[in-house]
Structure 1
Amino acid sequence: MSTSFNYKHLYYFWVVAKEGGMSRAADKLDMAVQTVSAQVRELERSLGYALLKPAGRGLVLTDAGVTAMQLADQIFQIGENLPTLVRDAASTPATRLAVGISDGLPKLVVRRLLQPVIAEPNLRLICHEGELEDLLGDLALHRLDVVFSDRPAPANPNIKLYSHAMGNSPMAWYATPAMVRAGGRKFPHSLADMPVLMPTAHTAVRARLDHWFEQIGIRPRIVGEFEDSALLKTFGGSGMGAFPAAEWVQDDLLAHYGVKRLGPCEGVVEHFYAVGTERKVQHPLVLRVLQGVV
């Protein structure tokens, strides 16, 4: 778009198109016809296309004019709503909380971590999921208020970050009721005879799970690996294989995925952290999240 584009010119064009002619538009705007015509020609010049063409005793839109009119309708409709939207925002200000969620972190855990602030009046919760390194970059640029992760922030001489421990949870194995009935008695060795789903090596807990299998002498038949924990549970609930999950959210897991607990993953613990840019947290909602962890 040309730097000479002017929204006032667009407004004059919009009125002309709605009124169907220069004279009627000039009357509505209480301006001279020549002035309105000159303003519309300036808009056409800045855009590089004719927007109106003669038709009988009036004017009609060209193809370019139809597109310009559609966009102008949206622009000026928003403009008409602006005073109301600003008034509403000022009278009921939102409390914004921008959260980064490391892609390997269980989503049911995130919901539990955020539970202390969910009922906050006028809360505007913004969640971004991604790789930890990318999220920490956004945190350093103040695009995020806090980042939840399954590991503390790595040392970085260029970014001052603080990792706050949010708790931990033992891991257990879950599967469909049919798989639990078939393998429950011989657990954990029954895992050698059934398909297994695992988080990818991108997650902090994967190495602990691999070590656990080595300790009990099982080489699992891994049929699926997932970075997204919700996707892992969804496929596990469909019967694709047994899968590990934090016992911290067992009630939600059983209720929402139709699975049962197969057995404990002895010695394997998943840790949760909130990463921020301040040693002493200032954001009131982040502080409430940290204080509300049980």
Structure 2
Amino acid sequence: MSRLNYHHLYYFWRVAKSPSLTEAAETLHISQSALSAQIKQLEQSLDVALFIRQGRKLVLTDVGRRVLAYAQDIFNTGEELEKFIQKDSATQVQHITIGVQSNLSRNFIESFIAPLLKSENVDFSLASRGMTDLLSGLVNHELDLALTNRAILSESHDTTWRNQLVARQAVAIVGPYGEKPEMPFPQGYEDKKWVVPGRNTDIRSSFESFCATHQYQPDIKAEVDDMAMLRLLARDSGYLSVLPPVVVKDEIQSKVLQDYESIPQAFENFYAITMPRKFTSQPVLDLIKIAIHQYSVDHSI
């Protein structure tokens, strides 16, 4: 076998990641025929078939998938090195980019980034994105970490996610001030209407289990995926809601809303999501450590 041509391997990597050979060629500013020739040379040097053609699509062979895994490690590390050099060589002030799930609690985000606001050696960017864009940003080295309210499972060998629980907020029934039923749930809640989180959330699942345990059928007026919007509806609608009281702490302090009662074993969890890196930013590590420490202090007995 001849010595591996990393230029050819790079082209293979880009083709394997692209929806089509045509799109890969356009991205690489090379003709489709020239790109095909480069891939063919790589296959000949390795003496294996990396792709098979199915209709108009190129599909990786079993060997091709294994080669892709090695190429991912090689070129992701190279991109990571470039980002590391760009961030750390030009200035002593380090920059980190944090992606936040678009419907995440603003109170949690504010508390998480508080140490950065006090640091003279670190500046940062916050990028609000949907979950798919967050994960893509981590893979493409656009983000140093992502903040979410659910852990991410690694569904393939190509991508490994590191999920670190950094905070947890208790969930309660919250409603208009002064209208709390005198009897424990569910007595006094028969005619109440509710605004609640969407179905694909841990809070909603906990609430439904709580209601089932008490044989209570809630009259749900609205389902809301965005925590900021849920806060507004809880404040302005006059209906009951289910959310962490910390989200509406200002409304509770001003006696617009009231914490009626906690839902047992119901929490909104917050995770810092990262990927394994050769060069993990020290400010990122420090930030996660501070959050974990604060969480442990808040929950110590």
By the TM > 0.5 criterion, same fold?
yes
Q: Is the 8 A contact 2:103 2:228 kept in 1?
A: no
How do residues 1-294 of structure 1 correspond to structure 2 at under 5 angstroms? 95-121=94-120, 124-157=123-156, 158-177=158-177, 181-189=178-186, 190-247=188-245, 251-252=249-250, 254-255=252-253, 258-278=256-276, 282-293=280-291, 294=294
Q: 1:114-167: per-residue Cα shift (whole Å, max 9, x none)?
A: 222222237543222233232111111111111111111111322121111113
Q: How high is the TM-score relative to the length of structure 1?
A: 0.60
1:268 deviation in Å?
A: 1.2
Q: How high is the TM-score relative to the length of structure 2?
A: 0.59
Which amino acid is 1:172 matched to? A
The runs of 5 or more residues in structure 1 that have no matched partner are: 1-89
Distance 1:133 1:277 in 2: 15
1:108 deviation in Å?
A: 1.3
Distance 1:119 1:104 in 2: 25
- 3-state DSSP class of the match of 1:192? coil
1:96 deviation in Å?
A: 2.4
Q: Is the 8 A contact 2:98 2:147 kept in 1?
A: yes
Q: 1:285 to 1:254 in 2, by over 3 A?
A: farther
- 3-state DSSP class of the match of 2:200? coil
Runs of 4+ in structure 1 off by over 6 angstroms are 90-93
Give the structure 2 partner of residue 41 of structure 1: none
Distance 2:164 2:97 in 1: 17
Q: 1:220-250: per-residue Cα shift (whole Å, max 9, x none)?
A: 1111211110110011111342212224556
Distance 1:216 1:118 in 2: 45
The runs of 5 or more residues in structure 2 that have no matched partner are: 1-88, 295-301
- 3-state DSSP class of the match of 2:190? helix
Q: How many residues were matched structurally?
A: 202
Distance 1:141 1:264 in 2: 41
Q: CA RMSD in A?
A: 2.8
How many percent of aligned residue pairs carry the same amino acid? 17
